[in-house]
Structure 1
Amino acid sequence: MTTNLTGYQTEILAHIEFIGRFYGLVSRADLIKRFDISEASATRTFQLYNSLAPGNLIYKPNIRRYEWQDAAKPIIDVAMSKCVSTLTDGFGDSFARIDEEPIAIKNSLFNVNLEVLSAVTRAIKRKQVIKIDYFSKSSPRSSARDIIPHAIADSGLRWHVRAFDRKSMEFRDFVINRIKKAKPLSGEVIPETQTGSSDNDWNEVVELKIQAHPNLSGSKSMIEFEYRMVDGLLRKKVRKALAGYLLDTWNIDTSENACLRGNHVMLHLKNSNELSFPGKLLAPGSLHSNNN
């Protein structure tokens, strides 16, 4: 039904559908404001959407807006993460701050330094070595390191850059907000062993089999419903290098005998005894796995 649409048509119809679906009402003014099109063009766009999805939107003349119907079925496939980020930060075509109160709020202790972040991402795209001044527990006054970054990732608590570290001669994670300065080193030759293709822990994917914590049997059905578990399990595939962060962020008990207690420990890694990866020590219960 939507396979014959151009990229622009898909984008503008997705905008109609997003506003209608999440805010309830959508108008031609919404399209004119975002896409800078004429009122006649906006009218034709709504006609196109209604021809593809009759009944999803009903026009209300008294308020001059289209109302999303409760029984409507979306026709544009969108990513959940994109919807959530749009609700918190506004629409993706604008980099300006949004003035109005957002409908969703992020809960974070800090923001990423954009100057440092952009220096890192440029180095990733240009395949460059960068010299950073980096704060760590072992170097509280910062120390210089040459790194070759190949990816950035949100651990759930912090943004990290995944990079080869020429000081330790291994791939490591660096917290972006601990980088004081970042300077590209032009003309540096990067061996294949120091590129992302050689980062085995990043390239390997492990499957976490997560269950409701056995100590919370009375809440089992609630937890399974909340986490959308199937047959009592939430199966989550994650890069090996990032698995420890996810387990830590969500307080997932990794002890083999599910020995942790506390109302904040609602989940247990059922296949903990089958998995070994860097960062597992970050996870709750990892030091208790051999206790009986």
Structure 2
Amino acid sequence: MRGAQRQRLRFMESVAYWEGFVRRQRLSDTFNLNIEGLSRDFTLYRSLYPGNLNYDTSRKGYEPTAQFKPQIASGSAEEYLGLLRLHCEATAPELVQGLPGPMVAAHVPLQAGGVSANTLKDVTRAIVAGSGLTGMYQSMRVPKPEPVELWPAALVFSGYRWHVRAYDASKGMHRDCVLARLSVKPTSNEPPEIPPDQAWERNITVIARPSSRWSDPQKNAIAAEYAMQKHRGKWQWKVSLRECLVPYFLYLHRLDRPISQQRIELVDPDFAKRHGFADE
């Protein structure tokens, strides 16, 4: 099965499973192919996985049988919700294939971008090539932009904005820079001797639980939201993160706030003091 055809069959199966029905027209609109050609895809799918889809002559489309089991798609809720989120957050939804279709979905937007295309291009190329960048960066710790010489290593999404993880030769340290506050260009400078980024290489486990202020039924509901597991009869959420990402995790889940403002709380109450950070 070719890659493009497999993608169409995965989409077909996923839509049928989650929405209960799929027509050839849906695939035609999604993949910009003629309906007649797509008939071969449905025929192939039904020959490979007989008993998964039935054709409904009255609705002129395919619906999952009672014995349906996902064969190409994962069948996980995260897969379908991820596709919906991708469509909702796309600045050009028509470029995100296939969703939402008849499905209705919406999202609360994050910051409206602000990242320069040229900056992103220079950063991503520097990461791939192992080269450096020079320019200016506006930290929130100082009132004016500062010069930087960065040797980027990775991009980091903190849950609400994008950063570049880089060695800053001008400060002699590894740091995260918010992409939208960065103005840089490639440099021909020779790379400095860059020490290991221990905060990137070292992992730390964060352990959280439903806040103690909730009732037992509320704790159970929160535990289900976070896919928590029982440990010695108590709900726990264990997450292993690169050490430099832990402050973002604490901020995103309000774990660095007073307990009265938390839906979940840290098992170790001093953890946020040790691993929090001043926003920059």
How far apart are 1:174 and its partner, in Å?
0.6
The match for 2:163 among 146, 160, 165 is 160
Partner of 2:85: 88
Contact kept? 1:25, 1:66, Cα under 8 Å: yes
1:202-261 alpha-carbon deviations (Å, 9 max, x no partner): 12222222211223244222221221111111121211110111111111269xxxxx43
Task: Give the corresponding residue for 1:226.
Answer: 225
| Aligned equivalent of 2:208 | 210
Give me the whole-angstrom Cα distance separating, in 2, the residues matched to 1:54 and 1:245. 47
Give the aligned residue type for 1:20.
A
Cα deviations across residues 35-82 of structure 1 (Å, max 9, x unaligned)? Answer: 444544411211222234344433222332223457633222558766
Matched residue SS, 1:136 = coil
Return the TM-score normalized by structure 2: 0.79
Map residues 260-271 of structure 1 onto 2, 5 A cutoff.
260-262=258-260, 264-271=261-268
State the distance in 2 between where 1:139 and 1:275 align.
24
Choose from 47, 51, 60 the match for 1:51. 47
Distance 1:14 1:192 in 2: 47
Deviation at 1:86, TM superposition (A): 2.6
Partners of 2:269 and 2:37 in 1: how far apart? 56
What amino acid maps onto 1:64 in structure 2?
K
Q: In structure 1, what is the Cα distance between the partners aligned to 2:226 and 2:243?
A: 21
Question: 2:154 is paired with a residue of what secondary structure?
Answer: strand
CA shift for structure 1 position 281:
4.2
CA, structure 1 residues 71+228, in 2 after alignment: closer, same or farther (shift >3 Å)?
farther
2:244 match: secondary structure: helix
Post-superposition shift, 1:151? 0.9
User: Does 2:139 correspond to 1:136?
Assistant: yes
Cα distance in 2 for partners of 1:250, 1:128 equals: 35
Kindly indicate whether residue 140 of structure 2 is the aligned counterpart of residue 127 of structure 1: no
For residue 165 of structure 2, give the secondary structure of its aligned residue in structure 1: strand
1:229-268 correspondence to structure 2 within 5 Å: 229-231=228-230, 232-252=235-255, 260-262=258-260, 264-268=261-265
Residues in 2 aligned to 1:252 and 1:274: alpha-carbon distance in whole angstroms: 9
Match of 2:197 among 181, 196, 199: 199
Return 198-207 or 168-177, whichever deviates more.
Answer: 198-207
Question: Residues of 1 paired with 2:108 and 2:94: CA distance?
Answer: 14
Give the partner amino acid of 1:193. Answer: I
Residue 25 of structure 1: aligned partner: 21
Deviates more, 1:71-80 or 1:48-57: 71-80
> Which residue does 1:189 correspond to in 2?
190
TM-score (norm 1): 0.76
Q: Which runs of 5+ in 1 are unaligned?
A: 255-259, 284-292
Instruction: Give the distance between the partners of 1:166 and 1:46, measured in 2 at CA.
Output: 57
Name the CA distance, whole Å, in 1 between partners of 2:262 and 2:91.
Answer: 38
Maintained 8 Å contact 1:213/1:265: yes
What amino acid is aligned across from residue 120 of structure 1 in structure 2? V
- Contact 2:22–2:61 (CA<8 Å) still a contact in 1? yes
Q: Which of 57, 63, 75 is the aligned partner of 1:67?
A: 63
Q: Which runs of 5+ in 2 are unaligned?
A: none
Q: CA RMSD in A?
A: 3.3
Greater shift, 25-34 or 122-131, is seen at: 25-34
**Distance apart, 1:177 and its partner CA:** 1.4
Instruction: Report the Cα offset of residue 6 of structure 1.
Output: 4.5
For the 8 Å contact 1:131–1:182, the answer to whether it is kept is yes
- Between the aligned residues of both structures, percent identity stands at 27
Aligned-residue offset at 1:95: 8.6
Give the residue type in structure 2 aligned to 1:145: V
Distance in 2 separating the partners of 1:170 and 1:68: 56
